[in-house]
Chain A
Amino acid sequence: MDSVGNIIVYFIIAIAMIFFSFKAVTTRKILRAATYLLFVLLAVGVAYFQLGYQFLGAVQIAVYAGGIMVLFVFAILLTHKPNDKSGLIDSHRRAWGITLAGSAAVVLIFALFYMPLLHGASLMECMQSGGEITMKEIGTAFTGSDRFQYLLPFEAISVLLLACIIGGVTIARKG
């Protein structure tokens, strides 16, 4: 039995996720879509907090909601034109989209409900058996090279980001 607070928070973030992601892909105005995406990202960040991953939640909010959203907003402002018609969608496209998304959702949700594995323990039990992950653990895991430690991917990501910086600059400058 989970606490009432947890359940309330869950419902808030679940409704926010569903509602705002739906709005984000249906609204015609691109800047609004970005804003709705921001809300979705925040909701996901809160979900991470609720699941006990404070560091991940913080990263989600800082990098996604902070960094990437700024990029989106910049890009929208740079490429925006008045009377942009690209928000309009014809019925043919919509039919395709609804079919695909609907069939994917139906298949996946049916699969979820038929998996006995997924109907198990409550959140509280899991939190008790695992507990929160401290910053110290995360730091050790990301700078070690033993089993279940991630120094190599961590370094690879650093190089990837560096390459991304250089590549972004080069591509954007070229035109």
Chain B
Amino acid sequence: MDLSMLWYLVPSVIMLACGIYGFVTRKNLIAILISLELMLNSADLNFVVFNRYLFPGSMEGMAFSLFAIAIAAAETAIAIAIIINIYRAIGNTDITEIKKLKF
């Protein structure tokens, strides 16, 4: 039995689908952020898998994933800072209560 690319990509797709589901359905901002991390991780995994199977001699995919992790860290830090700020302002982290930015 060979572990071809597909074997890794299918769990990655399911992770992405879970992330989408979580992002759209959850109300808690932190839960939404968790869903976001899931999607990001599935993308990272794809980069690495493609690098390994299609261009085993180089390391572009890996480098991309490394940078993505670093940026994810930064993004999470800022997002959490914003969430804490929102919590201070309105007393909870429910996204259904934050929709003043509209027409």
Whether A1 contacts B2 by the Cβ 8 Å rule is yes
Cβ–Cβ contact B78 & A168, under 8 A: yes
1/0 per position for A68-94, CB-CB distance to B under 8 A? 100110111011010010111100011
CB <8 Å contact, B57 and A129? yes
Judge whether A118 and B15 touch: CB under 8 Å: no
Q: Which residues of A contact B49 (CB under 8 A)?
A: 51
CB atoms of A96 and B24 under 8 A apart: yes
Smallest Cβ distance from A169 to chain B, in angstroms?
8
Majority secondary structure of chain B interface residues (helix, strand, loop or mixed): helix
Task: Output the residue of A21, A37, A122 with the most chain B CB within 10 A.
Answer: A21
Return chain B residues, CB-CB under 8 Å to A127: 52, 56
Contact residues, B81-103 vs A (CB, 8 A):
81-85, 87-89, 92-94
Q: For the complex, give the distance between the alpha carbons of A94 and B22 in Å.
A: 9
Within 8 A of B (CB), among A1-42: 1-2, 6-7, 10, 13-14, 17-18, 21-22, 24-25, 30, 33-34, 37, 40-41
Residues of chain A within 8 A of B70, CB atoms compared: 63, 157, 160-161
CB proximity of A161 to chain B, nearest CB, Å: 6
- Contact between B14 and A75 (Cβ–Cβ < 8 Å)? no
| CA A122 to CA B67, docked complex, whole Å | 27
Chain B interface size band reads 35 or more
Residues of A within 8 A of B (CB): 1-2, 6-7, 10, 13-14, 17-18, 21-22, 24-25, 30, 33-34, 37, 40-41, 44, 47-48, 51-53, 55-56, 59-60, 63-64, 67-68, 71-72, 74-76, 78-79, 81, 84, 86-89, 93-94, 96-98, 100-102, 104-105, 108-109, 112-113, 117-124, 126-127, 129-131, 133, 137-138, 141-142, 148, 150, 153, 157, 160-161, 163-165, 167-169, 171-172, 174-175
